[in-house]
Amino acid sequence: MTSTLTIRRPDDWHLHLRDGAMLRAVLPETARHFGRAIIMPNLVPPVVTGAQAAAYRDRILAALPEGSDFTPLMTLYLTEDSDPADVEAAHASGLIRAVKLYPAGATTNSASGVTNFDKVRPVLEKMAGIGLPLCVHGEVTDADIDIFDREAVFIDRILDPIRRSTPGLRVVMEHITTSDAVDYARSQGSDLGATITTHHLVINRNHILAGGIKPHYYCLPVAKREEHRLALRAAATSGEARFFLGTDSAPHTDANKLLPCGCAGCFTATNTMSILAQVFEEDSALGRLERFASLNGPAFYGLPPHDSTLTLEKKTPDYPAQISTDDGPVTVFDPGFPLTWRVA
């Protein structure tokens, strides 16, 4: 039986750090294990311009623990007023690694997102020309579309038409949650990747709703049926280059989660690597964990993997139930089963 596993240092290709007191509290949880992360731009107000991204990067770097070599990879929030020239300049300077598409109203702080996709076509065409990836929150927001169907409808109505009308545009389908998304990703070429979160590998919609509502399992896109969870696990553990880790770790204080209309998001930065080791071991795929967490993402984004390594050992970890912040406690995601791996 394997008792230790050493892999290249992992990266997180979808991360929420927020700002201010929350940023200062949760950033060390990611920097402890991960070398880089794609930083989500949905602050209030959102990170729309290169100047705003540079300022946010500076705040992140200032909040890092002393001696940390973690690198934030910045993104811009796509709006209908985004300037193609500003996007190009931010990319050319090395400041940003992607642009994020939120359909308006799809998730936390997405009110400034896109409603009319024709208005962002000049930006998308510019991105295709310079090789800048588009990270996509893949859900429609139409009130008449069932929340459990919104990802599949987005693929048909929005994503596939965008790809057909913008040849060469590199796309990351973020936090996929359905077998439909897995199948679509597999049907496309190497210019399309897909991230999978830690929590969607271990929970389905029953975990949220059966036996009482569990607010700390509520996220967007919402977890789906068990058949979809199993399709995600098969994709993540397959070793296929198109699938890689994006935790979508999303901190909210308990006061904001435990409301009649609570916030969506699971905070997994603290214990992701332990959970992943257990999932991959259960699926007889420990040898492919490095591809999912450490190799496939850098390859898609055109970056080298890390020279440094991370070692996991077969021992019970001791993670806190909550992270303290000046704004209030943030509950760490509970996978619902005892963990048997820890980072050495």
Residues labelled as active-site residues: 248
Half-sphere exposure of 44 (CA within 13 A, CB side): 4
Q: How far is CA 114 from CA 40, 111, 132, 139, in A?
A: 16, 9, 18, 12
45 upstream amide cis, omega within 30 of 0 = yes
Determine the 3-state secondary structure of 71 from DSSP. strand
Alpha-carbon distance of 297 to 191, in angstroms, equals 12
Q: Across the chain, how many H-helices and E-strands are there?
A: 13, 13
State the burial class of residue 113 (Cβ atoms within 10 Å of its Cβ: 0-12, 13-18, 19+): buried
Q: Which two tokens stand for residue 210?
A: 């059966």
Distances (CA, A) of 183 to 134, 301, 322: 19, 22, 36
Distance CA(170)–CA(87), nearest Å, equals 15
List, in sequence order, the alpha helices (H) in the chain.
20-31, 50-63, 84-92, 121-130, 150-154, 160-165, 179-187, 205-209, 226-236, 254-257, 272-282, 289-290, 296-301
